[in-house]
Amino acid sequence: MKLTRRTVLASALPALAAAQTPPTPAAPPDYLAISAAQYKRNADALAKVAVPMDTEPAFHFKP
Amino acid sequence: MTDDIFYATITELNAKLRAGEFSAVELTKAFAERLNTFAPRFNALALPLTTDALKSAKAVDGDLKRERFRGPLQGIPFGAKDLLSVANQITTWGAKPYALQKFDYTATVLTKLSQSGALLIGKLAMVELAGGGGYRITGASYFGPGKTPWNTDYWSGGSSSGSGSAVAAGLVPFALGSETSGSILTPAAFCGVTGLRPTYGLVSRYGAMALSWTLDKIGPLCRSAEDCGHVLQAIAGGDLKDPGSAGKGFYYSPEYHREWKDLRIGYAPVDFSDWADERARPAFNAALEVFRGMGVTLVESKLPDFPYGAMTGTIIAAEGASIFEPLVASGQVDQLADPKQAAGFRAALQIPAKDYLRAMRVRTLAQQEFRKLYADLDAILAPSRFGPAPNISDPLDARGPEPPPDRAPGMTALIPAGNLMGMPALSLPCGFAAGLPVAVQLCGMPFSENLLLSLGKEFQTRTDWHRKRPTLAT
């Protein structure tokens, strides 16, 4: 096959275009999802503790 | 003045003032100049208050001349975490959205210290909003990452960052910090100073930023346990302006303690052999031996089995999100230095009431178990933090290698547990690891501060770690 300047350029274009495309920046961490997942893990851990029905929330700290 | 003055204890400084070796004005000028010169090196200073301090110092000198002695804090300069308001002065809470915030009233603790003759020379930097929302970088502060004076590549600890580094570097004789879960003990440990977290409700929080109504406490960071006692005596007491106030005062009386041989101190051997950073184990074990040498009975012990981290995580997140809901609603929360905190606040607004209340009810169960535990113990001894400070570039949420599954938890959850139970704790420097300070903590039942301070004072007569000074090249 005869190689012309046009065919060489056409075959190289995709590679050139790819080389000029800036790398996709890494997505920033989804801190909202990370935080929500942490709160869910906390709730799951607390759910494992058996709490008698007559237990009131703690508000006072006595010696 | 020689460098010795900058590392003297409150008692030593007060004796020199009363003896006329220097005036309160001279002492205040010297400390203020040192604070303003060196604090930027550690990102420790939020706001200098030299002019007002010098005015007050002049009045103190007048009192001293007339032999009107008001106690050990008279004429002693100090610094305060920038979450405490001073009327008509900027109070940033360490966060950009509040960079120009002013209140028209002064925090109760600062009024009390002023009445004792202590002189506020500056407000000290802190982690933004005391870490609310959950921070993951040391740079989570309007003032930049706090740096320990022992090596500025390493973190000072938080959230009372400036309070820890300013005391350690001899920029103030003492400072006030606050703790919701670890914010006094951590900078005390990483900076090599003595820190006291008082019992919940013993010290008024009026005029302090709230992060968690049921956990917040204000306390001193000092050069010694004895100094902590003097400061606590001045700042403790009931306050109708603080709904959490216990209505109790505190009289520092280190001379009245039980005989050491009658004291039982709980500890977990696994803390010292396995959980502690290898580099810090010799220091921690030596501290254990000092207590053994005092004649106290060391008792192998363990914390009641509860998910302490989940409890504090839920309670601080839910209460903090409610407090800072207006900040989230305004969108200004995105001005925080750490995006993780903004996201943490947003996500916490979705925590169901049932989860918060469950955490508070499990907290009641844990309190009951702690009372049983302390029926046989007078205090618990454990590392304050299990290793030295991390590098300032290290992420704070990095997880180390998973521990073996069969390793007992020891006292690794003592900071969240002690805070949840409203218990006091005293952090005592006990040596160095990799050139950085490490410390042990004593944690006692609510209102047992005199016992902890007596033990701390005795520990510090037998060791000199609290007397060590970092090198500040000029």
Q: For position A19, what pLDDT does the model report?
A: 54
Is B159 assigned a catalytic role?
Answer: yes
B132 has a chain A CB within 8 A of its CB:
no
Q: Which of B311, B313, B421 sits opposite A61 (nearest CB)?
A: B421
Is B302 assigned a catalytic role?
Answer: no
Contact A39 B357 (CB under 8 A): no
CA angle B423, A60, B225 (to 5 degrees): 25
A55 has a chain B CB within 8 A of its CB:
yes
A24 band by pLDDT with thresholds 50, 70 and 90 = low
Q: For position B339, what pLDDT does the model report?
A: 96
Backbone angles phi, psi at B428, to 5 degrees: -120, 125
Taking contacts as CB-CB distances below 8 angstroms, the residues of chain B near A41 are 310
pLDDT in tens, B86-139: 999 999 999 999 999 999 999 999 999 999 999 999 999 999 999 999 999 999
* CB contact set of B111 (below 8 Å; sequence gap of 6+): none
- pTM, two decimals, is 0.94
Q: Pick the catalytic residue: B156, B181, B183, B427?
A: B183
Is B183 assigned a catalytic role?
Answer: yes
Q: For position A23, what pLDDT does the model report?
A: 62
Quickly tell me which residue has 């400036």 as its tokens: B162
Q: Which domains does chain B have, with CATH numbers?
A: 3-258+452-467 (3.90.1300.10)
Q: For position B347, what pLDDT does the model report?
A: 98
Q: For position B474, what pLDDT does the model report?
A: 59
* CB contact set of B397 (below 8 Å; sequence gap of 6+): B136, B340
A61 band by pLDDT with thresholds 50, 70 and 90 = low
* CB contact set of B301 (below 8 Å; sequence gap of 6+): B266, B267, B268, B373, B377, B380
Q: What is the predicted ipTM?
A: 0.93
Taking contacts as CB-CB distances below 8 angstroms, the residues of chain B near A57 are 357, 360-361, 363-364
Stretches in chain B below the pLDDT threshold 70: 473-474
Q: For position A13, what pLDDT does the model report?
A: 54
Mutation for B interface: A32, A35, A59, A62, most B CBs within 10 A: A35
Contact of B206 with B234, CB cutoff 8 Å: no
